[in-house]
Amino acid sequence: MNDPASVRPSARQLHWQGLEFYAFVHFGMNTMTDREWGLGHEDPALFDPPDVDAASWVAAFSDAGMRGVILTAKHHDGFCLWPSTWTTHSVASSPWGRDLVREVSDACAAAGLEFGVYLSPWDRTDVRYGSGTAYDDYFVAQLTELLTGYGPVFSVWLDGANGEGPDGRRQFYDWDRYHAVIRELQPDAVISVCGPDVRWCGNEAGHTRADEWSVVPASLREAEFVASRSQRADDGEFSRLVRSDAEDLGSSTALTGYDGELVWYPAEVNTSIRPGWFHHPAQDSSVRSSAELFTLWRAAVGGNSCFLLNVPPAASGRLGSADVEALRGLGHLLRDYRSARRVPCGPLPGPVLCRAVEAREDIAHGQRVEAFSVTLFLRDEVVWRREAGVVGSLRILDVPDVLTDRAEFSVSGSRGEPLVEAVLVVAQAENST
């Protein structure tokens, strides 16, 4: 086993970590048929949204504090949201007839957000699926179209879902080939989930581990680990399920007896603003509230992860009013939190009302802190204390509005010398309204 303290992120991983929060957009044939998983071979005439406005989507995401957008360019049904030259099952055969990948990528560029693509390896329409190399050729051709025609891409999101069943078609994806193509065409893009750069957190409910390690066994990169536990049925409730197994992936205890390779493989927490990934009118009353979304953000981004929130447009082509309202409220909460006064740990300039404590490591040089504590004092009396594990890119400890005039941070466990970049008390003045 290589030294855990010596494992470093790549430049693309560091850039991705700095984005913190970005949108997933599930939109396509399933939106029109009110399904989660399309059957394949749906009539392209069904795709005719009357009011698509990608700029309004991106504006809502930006207002919520997001810094990027990942579009489902092709979901499992095989219908392409760009006019692919490799299939007729695309927007080019629909009455709508436009290139949605182009419109979203242009809208992101205009608004200063980064653009990413989701391309499903599972394709229920293409006859080559299950044939081996012939299908790999097709998939690579479509990857090439997306990665050469739409500007810079920050993430290529590949999942391992496959609902064909034991009697269905079986395609053994050539992941090494796919990854090589992405590296060649978009070298700055992270390859997420079924890839070597960004790890699925293990559930689709927004659940964050108590301690999320970026340095983990290389075996977690295996695609089978994802495919066996990702969504495997046409079920609109999947985004509320939490898998609590494998909660500890990289601690000294978890690595005891492990003698394999360790890699930098940080976590992405993904979930949907609705019960399903695609928009369903019946779920309009089940949109997550701004407060719940803010709690998910704090746990994910403040737990050494990035947060990918799915917001699916309706069949009209517009985001639902409840979704937009929740995003707007989330944006207010995030701006309030991000603009709060931050004071370095130590003696504070007068008593302040502490809302949280933030700690950051210099992750460009690795992840080292295994255990730490924060203690808050008021007139030399302990008023609050918390012990925790990892720090990573950002660790947010919630504090129940404690008045304090001194904060102490102490590392009690580390892999080599701890490289803590900052510890800040997130506070408001005692007389703040």
Q: Are residues 331 and 286 in the same domain?
A: yes
Instruction: Tell me the C-alpha distance between 154 and 69, whole Å.
Output: 9
Q: Are residues 388 and 314 in the same domain?
A: no
Q: Are residues 303 and 386 in the same domain?
A: no
Last residue of a domain, one of 338, 364, 392: 338
Q: Are residues 261 and 393 in the same domain?
A: no
Instruction: Tell me the C-alpha distance between 350 and 161, whole Å.
Output: 54
What is the tens place of the pLDDT at every residue in 384-400? 999 999 999 999 999 99
Which H/E stretch holds residue 335?
helix 321-338
Instruction: Tell me the C-alpha distance between 124 and 335, whole Å.
Output: 42
pLDDT at 235 (0 to 100) = 54
Of 3-12, 151-160, 248-257, where does mean pLDDT reach its minimum? 248-257
Chain centroid to CA 206: 9
List residues bridging with 343 in a β-sheet.
Answer: 425
pLDDT at 241 (0 to 100) = 40
Q: Does residue 229 surpass a pLDDT of 60?
A: no
Last residue of a domain, one of 338, 363, 387: 338
Q: Are residues 162 and 259 in the same domain?
A: yes
Read off the pLDDT of each residue in 36-43 and give the average, rounded to a whole number: 96
Using alpha carbons, select from 339, 371, 331, 332 the residue that is nearest to residue 355.
339
pLDDT band per the 50, 70, 90 thresholds, residue 431: very low
Last residue of a domain, one of 338, 367, 388: 338
Residue 388: give its domain's CATH number.
Answer: 2.60.120.260
Amino acid type, 345 = C
Q: Does residue 295 surpass a pLDDT of 80?
A: yes
Strands 341-344, 420-429: pairing kind: antiparallel
Q: Whose structure tokens read 């207010």?
A: 332
**Residue 379: C-alpha distances to residues 203, 351, 376, 398 (Å):** 44, 9, 10, 21
Which H/E stretch holds residue 264?
strand 262-264
Average pLDDT, the chain: 92
Q: Are residues 161 and 38 in the same domain?
A: yes
pLDDT at 256 (0 to 100) = 87
Read off the pLDDT of each residue in 407-425 and give the average, rounded to a whole number: 96
Q: Are residues 72 and 184 in the same domain?
A: yes
pLDDT band per the 50, 70, 90 thresholds, residue 160: confident
Instruction: Tell me the C-alpha distance between 265 and 8, whole Å.
Output: 10
Read off the pLDDT of each residue in 343-368 and give the average, rounded to a whole number: 95
Q: Would you give the DSSP letter of residue 80?
A: B
pLDDT at 237 (0 to 100) = 53
What is the tens place of the pLDDT at every residue in 233-279? 555 554 444 333 468 888 888 888 888 999 999 999 999 999 999 99
List residues bridging with 359 in a β-sheet.
Answer: 395, 423
pLDDT at 166 (0 to 100) = 80
Q: Does residue 231 surpass a pLDDT of 60?
A: no
Q: Are residues 98 and 213 in the same domain?
A: yes
Residue 91: give its domain's CATH number.
Answer: 3.20.20.80
pLDDT at 420 (0 to 100) = 97
Q: Does residue 349 surpass a pLDDT of 90?
A: no
Q: Does residue 311 surpass a pLDDT of 60?
A: yes
**Exposed/middle/buried for 172, CB within 10 Å: 0-12, 13-18, 19+?**
exposed
Backbone φ and ψ of 117, nearest 5°: -130, 145
How much is the pTM? 0.94
pLDDT at 219 (0 to 100) = 85
Contact 309, 293 (CB under 8 A): yes
Rg of the chain in Å (alpha carbons): 22
Residue 381: how many CB atoms within 10 A of its CB? 7
Strands 215-217, 262-264: pairing kind: antiparallel
Q: Are residues 230 and 372 in the same domain?
A: no
Domain that holds residue 17: 4-338
Read off the pLDDT of each residue in 224-229 and give the average, rounded to a whole number: 48
Q: Are residues 383 and 320 in the same domain?
A: no
Instruction: Tell me the C-alpha distance between 185 and 28, whole Å.
Output: 25
Q: Are residues 362 and 411 in the same domain?
A: yes
355: three-class secondary structure by DSSP = strand
Read off the pLDDT of each residue in 4-18 and give the average, rounded to a whole number: 97
pLDDT at 318 (0 to 100) = 98
Contact 20, 306 (CB under 8 A): yes
Read off the pLDDT of each residue in 13-26 and give the average, rounded to a whole number: 98
Query: Domains in the chain: how many in total?
Result: 2
Contact 424, 351 (CB under 8 A): no
Q: Are residues 230 and 345 in the same domain?
A: no
Which H/E stretch holds residue 290?
helix 290-301
List residues bridging with 72 in a β-sheet.
Answer: 118
What is the tens place of the pLDDT at every residue in 50-102? 999 999 999 999 999 999 999 999 999 999 999 999 999 999 999 999 999 99
Instruction: Tell me the C-alpha distance between 254 and 48, whole Å.
Output: 51
Contact 207, 246 (CB under 8 A): no
